[in-house]
Amino acid sequence: MTRGLESKSPLLQVQELAVRYLAHRDVLRGVSFELTTGDTLGICGESGSGKSTLVRALLGLIPVARGDIRWFGRSVDSHGTAQWRALRRTVQPVFQDPLASLDPRMRVLDSLAEPLQVHRSDLGRAAREERVAIALERVGLTDAALPRYPHELSGGQCQRVCIARAMILEPSVLVCDEPVSALDVSVQAQIVALLADLQRDSGTALIFVSHNLAIVRRLCRRVLILRQGNIVAAGSSLDVLGNPADAYTRRLIAAVPAVPRPASGQET
């Protein structure tokens, strides 16, 4: 289980966050929420609602116009390079396109070992390789994947490698931005089940961004619904998605088919 944060203080506090692209109107407006240890938070909305913009702001990849982002009680901004470098070990992302997230010139072994080389320089080669093997096994892949390059793997296998790379540092928070939308529907179910298992076993807090409310309802305890950069609904998944109070959320639910259960023994 992730160590080092035993207090009940929020891991993440977002207060009145606004993001603006160039001179246009705000893409996000007045977004506020918290994330606590072991929490699972789904961020949902249609395309263009501001989901990925919010994730990029949380990860320090784009500047914010107004508001405050506090990771582990400390305010950070997109210009604080040293701050974000220190956060990379404890806040890890998984992005939408797994093939684009992996260096095509690096073997799986090297891709998984790289975060340890950067953030755990105290580990020797043998210790790194042992952790790589364990991380690979945790995501359902065998040692046969280690010498392979990304183009030699399926989309689902590549995403498993990306998840293993993110989890190998035992982060406090895993931020997933549409991590299954580029995958086949049957593979989506397997990756969602994998994330649920890893989150339960490790205690890592999870932010899961998706337009698919069926997946979010299955995976997340809490949910935020974004519409045109504003939060229109927030609360437990049971309340927000089980008994939606606003017409927008009801339309989102009606538009999404149920996520299938993973097929046992299916190769991804």
Write the DSSP assignment of 126-139 as a string of letters: HHHHHHHHHHHHHT
Which residues, listed in sequence order, are joined to residue 41 by a DSSP beta bridge? 207, 222
Residue of 2, 9, 4 lying closest to 70 (CA atoms)? 9
Question: Residues in the chain, how many?
Answer: 268
Which residues in the chain come in under a pLDDT of 50? Answer: 1-7, 259, 266-268
Within 10 Å of residue 149's Cβ, how many Cβ atoms? 15
Q: Which domains, from first to last, does the chain contain?
A: 8-90+173-258 (3.40.50.300), 99-168 (no CATH)
The strand pair at 173-177 and 205-210 is best described as parallel
Residue pair 172/37 in contact (Cβ under 8 Å)? The answer is: yes
pLDDT score for 40? 95
Percentage of the chain lying above the pLDDT 70 cut: 90
What is the rounded CA–CA span in Å between residue 160 and residue 155?
9
- What confidence score (pLDDT) does residue 258 get? 56
Q: What is the pLDDT of residue 201?
A: 92
Give the pairing type, strands 40-44 and 66-71: unpaired
**CA 61 to chain centroid:** 14
Q: Where are the alpha helices (DSSP H) in 93-184?
A: 98-101, 108-119, 125-138, 155-167
- Residue-level pLDDT at 79: 58
pLDDT at 30: 92
Q: How far is CA 186 from the centre of its chain?
A: 20
Please give the span between the terminal C-alpha atoms of the chain, in angstroms, as a whole number: 27
For residue 55 the two structure tokens come to: 């994730």
Residue 5, pLDDT score: 38
DSSP label at 259?
P
Give residue-wise pLDDT tens across range 143-177: 999 999 999 999 999 999 999 999 999 999 999 99
User: What was the pLDDT predicted at 257?
Assistant: 63
What DSSP character marks residue 150?
G
Quote the pLDDT of residue 76.
Answer: 84
**How far does Cα 221 stand from its chain's mean position?**
15
User: Across-strand partners of 177?
Assistant: 209
